């Protein structure tokens, strides 16, 4: 089996590389943005011709949530046009696409975990482009799995966990938002689930939600990070209104994982247990 992974230098791409050695029956081809620019369709076709993948895992994305507000064209080019290019190429080469999306497609006004059929209403450019990317894939390719995830972290790349630990080296106190609720997701757990989807031979294509179990505020997440790493710091909860950002974020974006657990017969660790293993 041949799997092509785009965005190989990002968090998820690196997580997939980290676990790849466990799967000797898979021939992986990892392409960073410098190896493969998904905004250029001819470049995608050239890589597909060379590798002829059974599956393409699209881990490439524009993820700078606040910066996207001032760079909407760039975010659209990668998250929408790039996704469409991959879908069209996958269709031509009979390749199944696994595309990673986000909880930011929701507005956060709900107070129950979001299901795959809940109405989407993204509040910022990042969420809007990711939702439009989902739509372009669905319009152009039947054989696709879209996996929405949330609050991704790992030992790789830039993420909230690493930022907290870095800031704690230089500061005696930190203030973290306590009124945005979601679920931290270990990138390794997401990578393993993607492999399970591939091995399942499922034809139940469409949108799925995956995150670790449970819910937390960013303050809760930071508190647990410091507890596990035995960091002594004065951590203060604040409101979103006290920490304004360019992009609006959903106040509540916990994802309902019933569909993915049933279809692929998986159990999911709590975010706290998974964080301990990081």
Q: Residue holding tokens 């992986």? A: 28
Q: How many domains does the chain have?
A: 1
- Is 153 a catalytic site residue? no
Please name which of 245, 210, 255 lies closest in space to residue 65, comparing C-alpha atoms.
245
**Residue 240 falls within a domain, yes or no?**
no
Q: Is the whole model's pTM more than 0.85, yes or no?
A: yes
Looking at the domain assignment, is residue 248 inside a domain?
Answer: no
Beta bridge partners of 2: 27
Q: Are 212 and 269 in contact (CB under 8 A)?
A: yes
Q: Is residue 18 part of a domain?
A: yes
- Which residues make beta-bridge pairs with 27? 2
| Cα dihedral value 237, 242, 244, 247, nearest 10 | 50
pLDDT of residue 241: 95
Q: Which residues pair with 114 in a beta bridge?
A: 255
pLDDT of 264: 98
- Catalytic hit among 23, 109, 114, 126: 126
Alpha-carbon distance of 213 to 99, in angstroms, equals: 21
What value does the mean pLDDT of the chain take? Answer: 97
Q: pLDDT class for 265, splitting at 50, 70, 90?
A: very high
Q: Is residue 234 part of a domain?
A: no
The candidate with the shortest Cα–Cα distance to 163, out of 121, 90, 95, 226, is 226
| pLDDT confidence bin for 268, thresholds 50/70/90 | very high
Q: The CATH number of the domain where 199 resides is what?
A: 3.40.50.720
The parent domain of residue 208 ranges over: 2-159+183-214+254-269
164 within a domain of the structure (yes/no): no
Residues above pLDDT 90, as percent of the chain: 99
Domain membership flag for residue 229: no
pLDDT computed for residue 130 by the predictor: 98
Q: Does a structural domain hold residue 172?
A: no
Percentage of residues of the chain with pLDDT beyond 70: 100
Residue 167 lies in a domain: no
Query: What is the mean pLDDT of the segment spanning 92-113?
Result: 97
**3-state secondary structure at position 21:** helix
């Amino acid at each position: 089996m041949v799997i092509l992974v785009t965005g190989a230098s990002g968090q998820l791409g690196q997580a997939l590389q980290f676990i790849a050695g466990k799967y000797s029956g898979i021939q992986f081809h990892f392409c960073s943005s410098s190896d493969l620019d998904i905004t250029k369709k001819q470049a995608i076709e050239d890589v597909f011709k060379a590798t002829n993948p059974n599956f393409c895992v699209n881990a490439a994305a524009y993820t700078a949530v606040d910066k996207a507000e001032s760079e909407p064209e760039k975010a659209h080019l990668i998250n929408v046009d790039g996704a469409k290019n991959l879908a069209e190429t996958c269709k031509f080469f009979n390749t199944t696409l696994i595309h990673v999306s986000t909880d930011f497609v929701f507005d956060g006004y709900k107070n129950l975990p979001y299901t795959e059929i809940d109405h989407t209403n993204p509040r910022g450019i990042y969420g809007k482009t990711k939702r439009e990317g989902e739509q372009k894939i669905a319009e152009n390719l039947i054989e696709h799995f879209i996996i929405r995830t949330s609050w991704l972290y790992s030992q790789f790349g830039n993420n909230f966990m690493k930022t907290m630990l870095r800031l704690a080296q230089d500061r005696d106190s930190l203030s973290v938002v306590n009124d945005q609720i979601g679920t931290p997701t270990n990138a390794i757990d997401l990578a393993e689930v993607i492999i399970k989807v591939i091995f399942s031979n499922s034809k139940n294509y469409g949108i799925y939600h995956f995150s670790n179990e449970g819910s937390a505020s960013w303050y809760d997440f930071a508190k647990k990070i410091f507890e596990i790493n035995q960091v002594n710091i004065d951590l203060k909860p604040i409101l979103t209104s006290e920490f304004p950002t360019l992009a609006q974020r959903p106040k509540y974006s916990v994802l309902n994982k019933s569909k993915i657990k049933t279809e692929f017969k998986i159990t999911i660790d709590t975010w706290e247990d998974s964080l301990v293993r990081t």
